[in-house]
Chain A
């Protein structure tokens, strides 16, 4: 008779492993796109602090190099971390990341935009594929974020405004790093567009489509759109 011990040992270890995998849950990064405290609604009329009446049609942005800093200061990051978030497609607004740890997250770090390495690497795939409409043709490089809409304040064709903000060459490297601290792992990231329109007058600034100092200024403001909202309950 051969001993059954090896089999028993194997299955015990196997189930323990499965169980531990389950406990090390995935963490997700959920972006909530808002205007002030409400979810952003396409083409709804909003009034900014600068007294501009505005409607938003397009809002898309790249989030890259996402890192979670855990309570023990260890860092969780993902490979090839480039995500295009589109306000019209809610599926893009949740990013799932393998946390591989039961520790709490104390800080989230990510970049708004695409780094220079990816910007000089030719044709890329997935969210970086040039078919996504976030790549400039005449001057290579990604559009880090795109905001388009209408405002009666804009004396432009169809009262349109458009911000295509990008640039990977110094001194106009438009990528921005965002660091947000949290008290628990149960959080969402608010992206409040009102904070941009409260800072600018659409009658004066309504079209930026090239890298440069104006794009750099808008990128600085865009950093302020992001904030963390911690939920006290477990519900999300």
Chain B
């Protein structure tokens, strides 16, 4: 009788343990690859997405604890409503009001990116965040110190347990959690996407703009990501107050002088100012620039010929670019400040 009771007790506690373990295990989530899109570049086998990992990353993304004096978070320069970039500032500003040398990039569809930053100096999404964290004009912090600060927080301890199974807080886990949040930032529900899926129709003007886009812009801003991920010299003269030589700083090759990342055009309606140094505030200025590049020997080969669009054609092209706005993405509740 007694031994039966003990046996039951053992079986009972084992099943409670197993049940608890099932509930404690992070819930897997998957990145949905939009129909017709290429295979993502990110290796998910090294960082399996989970709801808990994503939520931890989201918490970190919005937490100024990443900066030396707890004033700057990732979201300080990457606001959701503007395609996760910084508006109203040509150059982004960070800690103590210090100003950087570049316009912060947008953040979307990052799982498909092979390289990161305007100069492509970063080779993997996981290690991108080291740049803003350690930059003296952005967060001016070290990753080692972020680890120490997070280890003191009971809230983060439980978030790390939920995401990774134990409360060990390491640099690797911080970076992988941030990646999990960033990987989920997929923008694929603009009007353009709906037209491609045959769920909507372009107006005549948008359709005309789309044709002009395909002829004049798509070799670099290729569909469906609206970037081919490469680096080009788009003919804007160097700003002599910044002397930013672009990709050449990374590769040390003279042919990379003034080459910068080709940014995506998705959500371009709200991602102003434009270019690596934010020199153009309006979309019409950008198009004007490409319309009259003229004789610039250094410019990339795709831009050697000016577009020479008429005034009406330029209006049509802008109308098409506005169809790349994805309000579902810009206002997606899963990406907002966590409460």
Q: Which residue of B lies closest to A124 (CB)?
A: B172
Contact with B along A100-133 (1 / 0, CB 8 A): 0000000000000000000111111100011111
Q: Give CA–CA (A132, B143) in the complex, Å.
A: 9
How far is the CB of A174 from the nearest CB of chain B, in Å?
Answer: 14
Contact check, A125 vs B131: say whether CB atoms are below 8 A apart: no
Q: Which 10 A-B pairs have CB atoms at the shortest separation, nearest pair first?
A: A122-B126, A131-B171, A123-B175, A123-B126, A122-B124, A137-B130, A140-B123, A131-B144, A139-B121, A129-B171
Contact check, A125 vs B170: say whether CB atoms are below 8 A apart: yes
Q: Give CA–CA (A131, B168) in the complex, Å.
A: 14
Q: Give CA–CA (A17, B124) in the complex, Å.
A: 46
Contact check, A133 vs B142: say whether CB atoms are below 8 A apart: yes
Q: B residues bordering A, Cβ < 8 Å? A: 43, 46-47, 117, 121-127, 130-131, 133-135, 142-144, 147, 170-172, 175-176, 179, 250, 252
Contact check, A135 vs B124: say whether CB atoms are below 8 A apart: no
* Known interface pairs A123-B172, A137-B131, A138-B122; 12 further A-B residue pairs with C-beta atoms within 8 A, sorted by A's residue number: A119-B123, A122-B179, A123-B176, A124-B172, A130-B130, A130-B175, A131-B170, A132-B144, A135-B127, A137-B127, A138-B121, A139-B121
Q: Give CA–CA (A212, B121) in the complex, Å.
A: 14
> What residues on B are CB-neighbors of A121 within 8 Å?
46, 124
Contact check, B176 vs A140: say whether CB atoms are below 8 A apart: no
> What residues on A are CB-neighbors of B43 within 8 Å?
122
Instruction: Please pick, from B127, B135, B144, B252, the residue contacting A123 in the complex, using a CB distance under 8 A.
Output: B127
Contact check, A133 vs B46: say whether CB atoms are below 8 A apart: no
Q: A residues bordering B, Cβ < 8 Å? A: 119-125, 129-133, 135, 137-141, 212
Q: Which residue of B lies closest to A131 (CB)?
A: B171
Contact check, B171 vs A130: say whether CB atoms are below 8 A apart: yes
> What residues on A are CB-neighbors of B144 within 8 Å?
131-133
Known: A120-B124, A130-B143. A135 touches B130 (CB 8 A): yes
> What residues on A are CB-neighbors of B123 within 8 Å?
119-120, 140-141
How far is the CB of A121 from the nearest CB of chain B, in Å?
Answer: 7
> What residues on A are CB-neighbors of B134 within 8 Å?
137
How far is the CB of B182 from the nearest CB of chain A, in Å?
Answer: 12
Q: Which residue of B lies closest to A139 (CB)?
A: B121
Q: List 6 A-B contacts (CB under 8 A).
A: A122-B176, A123-B126, A130-B143, A132-B171, A138-B117, A140-B122
Contact check, A131 vs B143: say whether CB atoms are below 8 A apart: yes
Contact check, A123 vs B171: say whether CB atoms are below 8 A apart: yes
Q: Which residue of A lies closest to B252 (CB)?
A: A212
